[in-house]
Amino acid sequence: MMKIGEVKERLAETVDWETWMDDIRQDPRKNVQAALAGWQRKKNLRDKQQHAHDQKIEFDASFKENREDLVCGIDEAGRGPLAGPVVTAAVILPEDCSVLTGLDDSKKLSKAKRDQYAALIKEIAVSYAVHIQPPEEIDAQNIYQATRSSMTQAALQLNPRPDVILADAMQLDAGIHCESIIKGDAKSLCIAAASILAKTGRDAIMAAYASEYPAYGFEKHAGYGTKEHLIALEENGPCPIHRKTFEPVKSMVEPPLSLRLDS
């Protein structure tokens, strides 16, 4: 009978069920059964992640007319905040994306996991591009058009040029066949990869702005309209990176209607 330490060591080195584990299943020791149950939970998680990964790969491949076609995923981060840019990313992934197993919508992953995946995506991507749309353009165009323009520019920066664009809930006019995919980061691996690059890219920008404008706490809320952010706005007024067409910033920078009429 193996010692408990030996059982744990062998389980740590085992990926799939092996014949020696049949004896472990009958072992009456509680510590052994706990170790086996822990191994099974981890295996179930790996199997679930692998299944989801395979489904995302198949989804992306379904848009190819030829096996050699390049599929680009595009997503954005920062449409809703009161401050800062919209950041969009475009990614073409290689055929072998096994290192990205477990990749999901960026909002479902921890910051550490997002940073880890971002490094992997940049390392293995056939091509990727990140575009930053500043608050001034968001105010000039409106948030929808500014995001659409940013996504288009990210797509056009890719080299080689993709054959198909899969954009998260957006139809683009980039001279390339484009499919608008609702909840694309949950269905498509290349859109999920783009969501990671957009999110990590924007978070880094907002962390830098937090040092430049420390009164607003951008490192905590990334410009979203949290209670803390709204209080800071009331106390300090808008700063240069606030979106002047978004409320309540708009009301702070525009004079009351009565004053405008008087003038």
In this predicted structure, what is the pLDDT of residue 263? 53
Residues 88-113 as b or e (16 or more Cβ within 10 Å = b):
bbbbbbeeebeebebbbbbeebeeee
Residue 178 in tokens = 């484009």
CA distance 44 to 136: 48
Residues 67-81 as b/e (b if ≥16 CB within 10 A, e otherwise) read eeebbbbbbbbbeeb
CA distances from 17 to 3, 12, 26, 30 (A): 19, 12, 15, 20
96, 60 contact by CB (below 8 A): no
Rounded Cα–Cα distance for residues 91 and 132 (Å): 15
199 within 8 A of 114, measured Cβ to Cβ? yes
Tell me whether residue 206 is exposed, middle or buried, using C-beta atoms within 10 angstroms of its C-beta: 0 to 12, 13 to 18, 19 or more. Answer: buried
- Report phi then psi at 195, rounded to 5: -65, -35
Q: Are 21 and 14 in contact (CB under 8 A)?
A: yes
Beta bridge pairs of residue 178: 165
Q: Which residue has 């680009």 as its token pair?
A: 72
- How, if at all, do strands 164-168 and 177-181 pair? parallel
Report how far residue 87's alpha carbon sits from residue 4's, in angstroms, rounded to the nearest whole number: 51
Q: Which residues pair with residue 179 across a beta bridge?
A: 166
Show the tokens assigned to 61: 């491949």
pLDDT at res. 1: 80
SS3 130: strand
pLDDT score, position 262: 56
Residue 200, pLDDT score: 97
Q: Which of 60, 46, 69 is nearest to 97 (CA)?
A: 60
Please identify every stretch of the chain with a pLDDT value under 70, giving residue numbers as ranges.
256-263
Please check if 168 is assigned to a binding site.
yes
pLDDT at 106: 86
